[in-house]
Structure 1
């Protein structure tokens, strides 16, 4: 009986100690919570509220219901922006991420010169998106660009204004980011290096090699990193601005129109309520993408 009482007192003391420790945890979390509310949660709430108003940024917002959203849905630019976002998202998922995964698998094998290849592959990542957009403006220039100059050695009369003619502008913009998958490669490569060597050796003993080893062992164990890469890549397409603004500005026509371009145009026209409605749409699309990809890759499930 005495032993039971002592055990009960000990558990109560431990529980009391845990509760006192929680107070310190909450105290240390308080600054982060304040920063989150001030610089993230509060602006999001303001964007949602002002998206239902007519607001020029100078006078007080005036409630106008769903007018901004109705105007947005009825806009041809909006529908084309969603269409472009869908196509760019598919390219990001299958080409951009796929290419990054392939590079990671190759580097993981450590072929001859793999360290040099890794270093060269990472160089574009230190250059800003705006700088890459300007580089590609010269690369795709019809008169003195490298691409057309090379093509003219084969087809002397070849003339294409890549960023200013349809449908080439869409693909020219896509090429400014599509094969620069450094982040994807690093994330997946990190997961590959964490795969148990004993597991790989056991698979080889059982006769698995080459593609079967990749398909049955490595790719399934990299599911979370690949899913994370898809989320990052697709959400980056939602917010993609510099590559478009500095090359096509959404043209020709609306061939390369994006939600971010529409949002900035709304701000420049002092239509802050309308711009915030676009921001809300971008936010909701991001949440939907996060949910769908999380489910598709079963990222909340354990590999064990």
Structure 2
């Protein structure tokens, strides 16, 4: 018995060693290319690091340790605007893009005539870079010959406004430039729907469950983990929105985002301010983590309530 236990223990140690050796390259890459960068973002947010000392960043000291945070909170002219916009885009991503992706995926899963062609057409915007899509919508919203202004002039011939420079309307216009293109999420959901065993649907048919009731009681519960995944992807993509802001408005008229003002501080400004940009980066990292936690809590509550109902 003793030899058998020793043999089992040895195999267990060898298995754990193999697992760690297998994970080692990934852990090294994660530490070098991601963890190190995140640590630098946090550490440098307590430093003076700008155009005056680009090659020699230094800590402010305990007394002035929060200098960058105080500046961002009280003196930066666009931080609160950018944070509000980014949070709104995160929420809109969940409330619009996720239901759209799920609805389209369910429609495709019916395999109606021409569904493959429609699927391929639907995912085309998702394989085009967001920069290219931004340029396309820049022409759509062009005040002189853009199709949107032409439609408005049918009802108001004297209209000469620029949609992308009109506060309030420009936020909606920018949101429309990306929110309806959920091809990647749709394909993820569609693949999960196709993975549901046909026997489950056949059993539901025998029980008299048809139409929308089948989708509500069978399909949606079976793909809830995928819905949670695309919810996180949609919310974080909205929170990190940058290309649309850059190509459509360059942050003008109340459309700045967190990502855009980081670029402004670290790249676009002649008075380069790396530490302050990284201070905003801290909020971006924490915001992304908070979004993930909140979505997990929401889906966890739904899971517990469904179990309680049973």
| TM-score normalised by structure 1 residue count | 0.91
1:69 aligns with 2:63: no
Count of aligned positions: 296
1:264-283 CA-to-partner distances (Å, cap 9, x unmatched) read 11113311111001111000
Q: Considering only aligned residues, what root-mean-square deviation do their CA atoms show, in Å? A: 2.1
Q: How many angstroms does 1:300 deviate by?
A: 12
Q: Are 2:97 and 2:179, in contact at CA under 8 Å, matched by a contact in 1? A: yes
Structure 2, unaligned runs of 5 or more: none
Show CA shifts across 1:51-86 (max 9, x none).
011101333233241111112122441111122122
Does 1:16 pair with 2:18? no
Partner of 2:160: 159
Q: Which stretches in structure 1 are left out of the alignment for 5+ residues? A: none
Instruction: Give the alignment partner of residue 300 of structure 2, picking from 292, 298, 301.
Output: 298
In the TM superposition, residue 260 of structure 1 has moved relative to its aligned partner by 0.6
Deviation above 6 Å: which 4+ runs of structure 1? 299-304
SS of alignment partner, residue 297 of structure 1: helix
Shift of 1:127: 0.9
The offset of 1:193, in angstroms, is 1.1
TM-score, length of structure 2 as denominator length: 0.90
Q: Is the 8 A contact 1:294 1:300 kept in 2?
A: no
Is 2:208 the counterpart of 1:221? no
Classify 1:43/1:86 alpha carbon distance in 2 versus 1 (closer, same or farther; 3 Å): closer
Q: Show the counterpart of 2:264.
A: 265
Structure 1 residue 250: Cα displacement: 1.1
Matched, 1:59 2:53: no
CA contact (8 A) 2:90 2:237 kept: no
Residue 133 of structure 2 is aligned to residue 132 of structure 1:
yes
Q: Distance in 2 between matches of 1:62 and 1:174?
A: 39
Alpha-carbon deviation of 1:28? 2.9
Output one character per residue of 1:40-61: Cα deviation in whole Å (capped at 9) or x when no partner: 1111111110001110133323
1:247 CA drift (Å)? 1.1
8 Å contact from structure 1 (residues 52, 67) kept in 2? yes
Q: Is residue 86–residue 240 contact of structure 2 (8 Å, CA) maintained in 1?
A: no
Give the aligned partner of residue 181 of structure 2.
180
* Mapping for residues 21-40 of structure 1, pairs under 5 Å: 21-40=15-34
Summarize the Cα distance change of 1:225–1:55 in structure 2 as closer, same or farther, 3 Å threshold: same
Mapped pair 1:47 → 2:11 = no
Matched, 1:107 2:108: yes
Q: Distance in 2 between matches of 1:161 and 1:210?
A: 45
> Could you give the per-residue CA deviations for residues 140-197 of structure 1, whole angstroms, max 9, x where no partner exists?
1111112222333344233331111111110111011110001110111111112221
Within-5 A mapping of 1:209-248: 209-248=210-249
